[in-house]
Structure 1
Amino acid sequence: MKKRSGRIGYARRRRWPGFAHLIVAAMLLAGCAYSLVSGDHVNSSQAEKIEAGLPTLRQLQFKQPVPLVVKTRDEAEAMIEADMMRDYTDSQLQVEGIVGALLGLYPSQMDLKAETLKLLRSQVAGFYDAHEKTMVLVKGGADLGFWNATSQFLIQRDLVGEMLLAHELTHALQDQNFGLEKSLDAVKDNDDRALALKAVAEGDATLAGFAYAMGRMDNDISNRLIGGLKGMPQSLAAESPGTPEGLSVPLLFQYSEGVRFVAEAYRRGGWSAVDALYQRPPESTHQILHPGIFFEDRAHTPRIALSGYEQIMHGWRKVDDSTYGELLLRVILERNLGKQSSEIAIASRWTADRMIVLQQSRGLNVIWMLTFTDKQTASHFAVVYATLLDRLLGGASAHRIDYRANAALVIIGEGANYFDQLAPAIWNASTIETASTSTQIAVPPTPDEQ
């Protein structure tokens, strides 16, 4: 599905992770109404003070002013819903919800659109609109949002509004100085990569906003913020109870892990090192979760090109092409095996994945190839995930898993019924990049196929 670039903040991307981005951008100004909004008017002098002081701290300059406007809650919610629906139809959202449920990411029968909008409506208090280049504040938006509850543990209440407006104005600096929307557009066919870049943007903005409120930036400030963010899951659970992990985890990841990652860049080279992240951004959530891979190993994240299914699945239409990444693989394992399961460690050995979703009439077929650090992990994943799918899907949806070398192949849907024909065709035609080069290598055949 071809998607347009985002309208609200850096929020709207493709498929399910895009919803998490939208939520984050929508909730960040919770609490600003303490002193910035009075009725239908903005306290211009205070807003101008923050806009004037932030560039000195963040060491970036605004290239143009950022107007502030006030909207009612209904107006803001309508903007967000309309914006989301410019890129999605109801049927597309339904398909993506079903696929997530088949894989174990979402609960069965979850209404993805309804759950997303429910979370948005419980949190929205303001956002930076990168299309109109304006900051939208929501009338009566004080005390909303899990970030507001978390931030009050970090700084005194009367500074929360300053912190969060500085956060969103940092997004404006990113927009004006780095062309972040274009960068996100360039990775729109890789949701995991887009989520990693979004974590950089949110980590940068959160760190800059907190530092502005504290009046300085140094490593002690970043360490204090990292410690304070540990309470975010509890705050979100209290603000929006029952939120599916497939939505909440990517949302929280952009703050908690994004701040850790950006703070590591700052520790190594100050704000100029943070700026450099936009020129050479991380390629996966794996690199965000394991910063040494990015900052020291400088390893390339492999890419998988799935092929070989086209003739066998003739008549099926490709409706999605995506990458889940380590983060969402971990969510799947945690949701279905329990957060204390030793099998969760499989996710940390992820190196690449690619997923194709095919549709024929109302039927869906999912083809998912993943690679891991070694053959043992791939074979272990195949066993663990097969057991997971047996319990999750039973006989309701056909499913099969195979592995070769360090790669695993998952097929869910009708294709699993002729797996013995489809799987070899996919193995033989698909390619996987090596981690250190861009050279593609074919997945090795089994001895019987040589």
Structure 2
Amino acid sequence: MNKKIGVTLLVLIISSCVLLSAGVIIGAYLLLKAHKNYTDPLLTLRNTPAVATVTAAQQTQAAAPSDGLPPKIAKQMDEIQQQVIAIRGLHMTTDLKRDLLTPEELQDKVINDFFADYSDEDALKDSKVLSTLGLLDEGFDLKQFYLDLYSEQIAGYYDSETKDMYVIAGEGFGGMERMTYAHEFNHVLQDQNYDLENGMKLNDDYCKVDTEYCAAVSALIEGDSVSTENEWFLKHSTRQDQKDLFSFQEEYTSPVYDSAPAYMKEDFLFPYTFGLDFVQQLINQGGWAAVDAAYANPPVSTEQILHPEKYPDDRPVPVEMPDLAGMLGDDWSELDRNVMGEWYTYLVFAKGRSSQFSMDDEKSKTAAAGWGGDTYVYYATADLKEHLFAWRSTWDTSSDAGEYFDMSRDYGLARWGIPVQNSNGVISWNSTSDGIITMRRSGPDVLWVIGSSKEVVEDALTEIKDFGK
């Protein structure tokens, strides 16, 4: 699956993320409220776009009136920057351009910047894989949904390619905007100190071939920024900031997000929720120095994010999957080859497009938890009418493989009904709406094959080591 959209998350702060942060900090705020003095915010924001540039040398100075931003807004931004620098312990190394955009301008920018090279064909291929996995309905318009979702959810972002900061120019620079700015400015510090695009390899090209790594590093980056914004709110928010955030939490609605497929809602928040837990574990062990060290030795799998105790030593096991294009014929091509990871393994089981085959949440987590490594491939004919999906996974122990295989069987029974074969580590279904399906276990390895015809599935099995007929 193309993870371009997932990579974009590292530069976005969504409104629901602010709600997540609000849930974390409101309890602590109630405890601290009686012991802290607050001042009101300075000025509401103009409804026209503005641009300001902050140099590294000006980090300890207020923005000059000639910067282009309303002076009191620029002053607030400068103050927040200094507060975030003090919390995080990182410093600016180069200039920063700050842009204020109206909601309409920000929406246009997102569409033009982030979706210009995500074609309708790319989205169709992604939706084919996701529908094969039971996560999306066949024919789901994935690109349009992403466009609608990101237009609804974005509150501001830092662009690690252009090095520009964008903050939405709403009715005022209140608690929501100030908290967003604290989060996004932390992305500036991350980028200037660790180089997100090149140093951390969070770019489209790399993330197309190693989505697990990019999902893990995105979780580190977002967990870092959520933790920073939470600490900023507890230490530096004004009384009005708190009122604004409470009001936002009570009034906020997100109809597009609420209508999203179940897996997407979970996946959209993964870097924020589990990333926060991961970073908090690092902070508990060694403070912000431990977080800084993680950028030099980043997590490489969603397994490490979900189970911080497995970081950094428990690394994924490489799993070979042969090239099946030659066997399939000239009209076939490989559309996707990547790693599913523990997180998506869980999503496949627990967050299917239908409640009929959405398995118990805790059992799904348990079944996915012994993940050791995997590789999947997806092939299709030029007209996309014929397909082959093969997914091989390896598990930490024989017991883990057994749990996963048993859950795979239960999932298959719920999705495809009574199998034609269910013995000796082989479960198979014929003539389903998804084609021919077989699930097989060989020691610590488990294989899923889903194909449009019996011949395609049988030919694939002969090519995959340890699973031949």
TM-score computed with the length of structure 2 as normaliser = 0.74
Out of 184, 188, 204, the position equivalent to 2:224 is 204
The aligned runs of 1:36-435 (5 Å cut-off) are 37-40=45-48, 41=50, 42=69, 43-140=73-170, 159-182=175-198, 183=200, 184-185=202-203, 186-215=206-235, 240-294=257-311, 298-315=313-330, 316-336=332-352, 337-338=357-358, 340=360, 343-344=363-364, 345-363=366-384, 364-373=387-396, 374=398, 375-390=401-416, 394-414=432-452, 416-427=454-465
Q: CA-to-partner distance for each residue in 1:5-37, whole Å, 9 max, x for gaps?
A: xxxxxxxxx71x432443564444798x99573
Instruction: Return the offset for 1:293.
Output: 1.1
Alignment gaps of 5+ in structure 2: 19-40, 51-68, 237-244, 418-428
- The percent identity for this pair of structures is 22
Query: CA 1:26 to 1:141, structure 2 compared with 1: closer, same or farther past 3 Å?
Result: farther
Alignment gaps of 5+ in structure 1: 1-13, 144-157, 217-227, 428-443
Instruction: Return the offset for 1:311.
Output: 2.8
What amino acid sits opposite 1:89 in the alignment?
S
Greater shift, 285-294 or 380-389, is seen at 380-389
Greater shift, 264-273 or 100-109, is seen at 100-109
Partners in 1 of 2:317 and 2:253 — Cα distance?
34
Q: CA-to-partner distance for each residue in 1:311-359, whole Å, 9 max, x for gaps?
A: 3123221122222211122112112444635641211222212111212
Query: CA 1:281 to 1:187, structure 2 compared with 1: closer, same or farther past 3 Å?
Result: farther
Greater shift, 254-263 or 182-191, is seen at 182-191
**8 Å CA contact retained: 1:26, 1:120:** no
Query: CA 1:417 to 1:386, structure 2 compared with 1: closer, same or farther past 3 Å?
Result: farther
**8 Å CA contact retained: 1:29, 1:165:** no
Greater shift, 184-193 or 127-136, is seen at 184-193
Partners in 2 of 1:111 and 1:36 — Cα distance?
39
Instruction: Return the offset for 1:87.
Output: 2.9
Partners in 2 of 1:98 and 1:34 — Cα distance?
50
**8 Å CA contact retained: 1:378, 1:406:** no
What amino acid sits opposite 2:402 in the alignment?
Q
Partners in 2 of 1:28 and 1:277 — Cα distance?
24
Instruction: Return the offset for 1:115.
Output: 1.4
CA RMSD of aligned residues (A): 3.0
Instruction: Return the offset for 1:239.
Output: 7.1
SS at match of 1:312: helix
**8 Å CA contact retained: 1:199, 1:254:** yes
Greater shift, 101-110 or 165-174, is seen at 101-110
Aligned residues between the structures: 385
**8 Å CA contact retained: 1:325, 1:353:** yes
1:22 aligns with: 8
Q: Which has the larger radius of gyration?
A: 2
